[in-house]
A and B are shown apart, each in its own frame.
Chain A
Amino acid sequence: EAGVTQFPSHSVIEKGQTVTLRCDPISGHDNLYWYRRVMGKEIKFLLHFVKESKQDESGMPNNRFLAERTGGTYSTLKVQPAELEDSGVYFCASSPGGWLVEKLFFGSGTQLSVL
């Protein structure tokens, strides 16, 4: 069974540019989460999808970030325009459906560097 896959693994862009991160969850997982770790800090929750609907987006830092989940399958996280403080590792995680989530399956992350 394939795990959670994230593309790209690394991205280096200049301030003001646009970047789109992609996450392919484990097939059949209804729950999809985005987390971010800024260097030296803790991993922070960004948002949660249940199928194609945003269940909780309380962690999204501002309106430069747009997350979508087409047809309840893969998800994209777009940053436009990127700022220096957006640098960090963006993790995607998924879990089967249902309210009780005992375990998250994480991808390896996308390392984003904004110069």
Chain B
Amino acid sequence: AQSVTQLDSQVPVFEEAPVELRCNYSSSVSVYLFWYVQYPNQGLQLLLKYLSGSTLVKSINGFEAEFNKSQTSFHLRKPSVHISDTAEYFCAVNAGGTSYGKLTFGQGTILTVHP
């Protein structure tokens, strides 16, 4: 079985400041890692994913995450946030060998960007 811990339930930050949302996981098998984002009154949307290859993955809107196998982490970072980044962010894992659509989620981190 696998589990995901998002270390911060809420992260307030000022616009244009850097941000890091932390995610740690545990699993006895290899995993695939995801970050999903939920904007107000919308469904979850895939932000970025790590399946294999380069451990640093990037999204089109400036977020990046790095898979660290030794520390079992997949922290999400952005060097300069915008008001529009205000949302809830979910880290999720899928154990290799099972259906990739069966995800184990963390509890979510609410990112609030203040002007």
Q: Do A99 and B106 touch (CB < 8 A)? A: no
Binary interface encoding of chain A residues 42-60 relative to chain B, with 1 for a CB under 8 A from any of its CBs, else 0:
1111001000000110000
In the complex formed, the residue of B with least CB distance to A106 is: B43
**Pick from A42, A91, A105: contact of B106, CB under 8 Å:** A42
Contact A106 B101, beta carbon cutoff 8 Å: no
Complex: A49 Cα to B67 Cα, angstroms: 30
Complex Cα distance A100/B42, Å? 25
Q: Is the CB of A100 within 8 A of B100?
A: yes
| Interface pair B43/A42, CB less than 8 Å apart | no
Q: How many residues of B contact A (CB 8 A)?
A: 21
Contact (Cβ within 8 A) A102 B100: yes
Interface size on A, residues (CB 8 A): 28
Please report the C-alpha to C-alpha distance between residue A106 and residue B101 in the assembled complex, in whole angstroms. Answer: 11
CA–CA, A52 and B43, complex, Å: 23
Q: Does A31 contact B (CB under 8 A)?
A: yes
Between B49, B101, B104, the greatest number of chain A beta carbons within 10 A of the residue's beta carbon is seen for: B101
Q: Does B55 contact A (CB under 8 A)?
A: no
- Given A42-B4, A43-B90, A102-B51, A107:B102 Cβ within 8 A: no
